[in-house]
Amino acid sequence: MNPRVSAFRWVPPFAQGLVRDLRVRWALHEAGREYDELLIGPQEQSSKEYRRLQPFGQVPTYQGDELSLFETGAIVLHIAETCPQLLPTEATARSRAKAWMFAALNSVEPPILFHNQLEMMQVDHANPIRQAVVGAVNTRLNDLAVWLGDRSYLEQQFSAGDLLMTTVLRILRSTDLLGAHPTLQAYQHRCEQRVAFQRALGEQLHTFQEHQPTQSGRRSARAN
């Protein structure tokens, strides 16, 4: 049986292409595996049944291989464990790829997510907290760009570390912060040109298109 990955039926346009089930879809396609969707909305998200799969009500969850998992990093790591395209077989290279997975989620993503929250809250650019967060993001981007240098990927070959890092950098798509780092822009573009990414993105966007609410439905949702 195919593994089953939970995903939202629909999200507003600003979040489309960023929801984290994209990471799992991408990893599965890199591994050459098909999957089924478990589509949820707000009602299912808060249900006892779904909270047994994901204690915090988030997406994605993963059901397959005789286990149930939550948290994107854990799911991608599980898929990668049996996929040489995502984790090299040589021990040192494998450990380095795992290190970059943690770096993407623990070192680079947190300040970017904080910046994203301030953007959505429309915090003034002159706000000292916003300025500090922008500085933290730029520090991480600078460090990452220096490491990449003229490399195509974070290590010798594309890995699960690049997969997660690329999806983290995508969070900045509505900002100009990557504009100062052509190395990172080229790196992101290189990773996004992979067939597996294009398939994963297309499938996520297709789901949102299929379940796009009517105008009356959107007004109702806002009223609630």
pLDDT tens digits, residue range 191-213?
999 999 999 999 999 999 999 98
Residues 55 and 143 in one domain: no
Whether residues 155 and 97 fall in one domain: yes
Domain of 52, CATH number, reads 3.40.30.10
Give pLDDT, residue 217.
52
Q: What predicted TM-score, i.e. pTM, was given to this entire model?
A: 0.94
pLDDT cut 70: percent of the chain above it: 96
Q: 143 and 207 share a domain?
A: no
Q: Are residues 207 and 116 in the same domain?
A: no
Question: Would you list the DSSP string of the chain?
Answer: ---EEEEES---GGGTTTSTHHHHHHHHHHTT---EEEEE-HHHHTSHHHHHH-TT--S-EEEETTEEEESHHHHHHHHHTT-TTTS-SSHHHHHHHHHHHHHIIIIIHHHHHHHHHHHHTT--TT-HHHHHHHHHHHHHHHHHHHHHTT-SSSSSS--HHHHHHHHHHGGGTTSSGGGG-HHHHHHHHHHHTSHHHHHHHHHHHHHHHHTPPPHHHHHHHHH-
List the domain range (segments joined by +) for residue 59: 4-84+197-223
pLDDT in tens, 110-167: 999 999 999 999 999 999 999 999 999 999 999 999 999 999 999 999 999 999 999 9
Q: What is the CATH number of the domain that holds 141?
A: 1.20.1050.10
Same domain, 205 and 185: no
Overall number of domains in the chain: 2
Give the per-residue pLDDT at 214. 78
Beta bridge partners of 5: 37, 62
96 and 63 inside one domain = no
Structure tokens at 82: 């049996």
